[in-house]
């Protein structure tokens, strides 16, 4: 099999919410495969500039744009500007998202709405102007970042799980409508990963750390780099007949009711 199947040289890849963590790791993987990177953030120009500089320090062609994926008119304008300045968007990774850990009976409607708006509606508003252009060109790759919560429930993350479950089905419907235009739409469902956000609970003796290690057949937390291969595959010609699928990168959690050997 030729490595050309996975070569993204000459492609423009836009990754939303990629100023840190898993989004930045996936952007780096796409860049290492040859893509020109466009990353977005919405909270801080300084944070966005720092992320772009970090990617450039690794020899990658990276550019940053600051906007909120839920603001439909702004998104449409920014997509036009990005294509004007950087070239046609060949790959879109919808990674931007938030989580609120609040029990359902205690959650304010405004908190619920914000999670749904960012994690589900934001994918709708971000994707449509990009997809229209992909359809006109007759090619494109869209990758929606789902979650194990697209399949499983868990205490205190009901809004997040509802959004990610909806995103799984939105992914399949996008795939259904756009496959005839040679636009493939798939999802990645990360498991539990070692990031700065999970650092406080990944210490020896912490109950949640012990739970994840005992629940994951691979026996470890994921490293952000573990997502790069899947992202490159779904962004490349290697996945030209793959659409509507959710690939779970979780060390085997969803495959089992318990880690082997822990009976």
Residue range 21-53, pLDDT digits in tens: 999 999 999 999 999 999 999 989 999 999 999
Does residue 200 form part of some domain?
no
pLDDT band at 259 (very low <50, low <70, confident <90, very high): low
Give the number of domains in the chain: 1
Give domain status of residue 232, yes or no.
Answer: yes
Can you give the CATH number for the domain in which 247 is found?
3.40.50.720
Range of the domain at 56: 3-194+223-252
Residue 11 counted as domain residue: yes
Q: What is the pLDDT of residues 116-136, one digit of tens each?
A: 999 999 999 999 999 999 999
Active site residues: 160
Mean per-residue pLDDT for 213-226?
95
Judge whether 206 lies within some domain. Answer: no
Distance (Å, whole) CA 102 – CA 79 = 34
Contact 91, 141 (CB under 8 A): yes
pLDDT above 90 covers a percentage of the chain that reads 88
Interatomic CA distance for residues 261 and 263, integer angstroms? 6
pTM of the predicted structure, to 2 decimals: 0.96
Taking alpha carbons only, the member of 95, 127, 86, 78 closest to residue 25 is 95
Within-domain flag for 262: no
Cα-only R_g, the chain = 18
Residues in the chain: 263
Minimal CA–CA distance to 163: which of 94, 76, 92, 249?
A: 94
Q: How much is the pLDDT for 154?
A: 85
Q: What's the pLDDT score for residue 199? A: 87
Q: Rounded to 5 degrees, what angle do the CA atoms 35, 39, 40 make?
A: 160
Taking residues 100-112, report their average pLDDT.
96
Residue 258 lies in a domain: no
Average of pLDDT values for 67-81? Answer: 98
Domain membership flag for residue 233: yes
Residue 21 included in any domain: yes
Position 126 scores a pLDDT of 98
What pLDDT does residue 258 have?
Answer: 72
Count CA atoms within 13 Å of residue 202 on its CB side: 13
- Write down the pLDDT at residue 2: 60
């Amino acid at each position: 099999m030729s490595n050309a199947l996975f070569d993204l040289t000459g492609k423009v890849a836009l990754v939303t919410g990629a100023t840190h963590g898993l989004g930045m790791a996936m952007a780096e993987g796409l860049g290492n495969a040859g893509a020109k990177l466009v990353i977005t953030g919405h909270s801080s120009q300084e944070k966005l500039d720092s992320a772009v500089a970090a990617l450039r320090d690794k020899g990658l062609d990276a550019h940053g744009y600051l906007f909120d994926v839920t603001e439909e008119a702004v998104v449409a304008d920014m997509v036009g500007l990005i294509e004007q300045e950087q070239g046609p968007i060949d790959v879109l990774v919808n990674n931007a998202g938030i989580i609120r850990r609040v029990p359902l009976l205690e959650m304010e409607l405004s908190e619920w709405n914000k999670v749904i708006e960012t994690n589900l509606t934001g994918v709708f508003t971000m994707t449509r102007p990009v997809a229209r252009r992909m359809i006109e060109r007759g090619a494109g790759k869209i990758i929606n970042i789902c979650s194990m919560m697209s399949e499983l429930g868990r205490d205190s993350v009901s809004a997040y799980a509802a959004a990610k479950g909806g995103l799984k089905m939105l992914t399949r419907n996008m795939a259904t409508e756009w496959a005839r235009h040679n636009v493939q739409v798939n999802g990645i469902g990360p498991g539990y990963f070692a990031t700065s956000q999970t650092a406080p609970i990944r210490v020896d003796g912490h109950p949640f750390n012990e739970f994840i290690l005992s629940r994951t057949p691979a026996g470890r937390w994921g490293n952000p780099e573990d997502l790069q291969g899947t992202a490159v595959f779904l962004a490349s010609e290697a996945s030209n007949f793959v659409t509507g699928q959710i690939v779970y990168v979780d060390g085997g959690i969803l495959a089992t009711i318990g880690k082997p050997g822990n009976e």
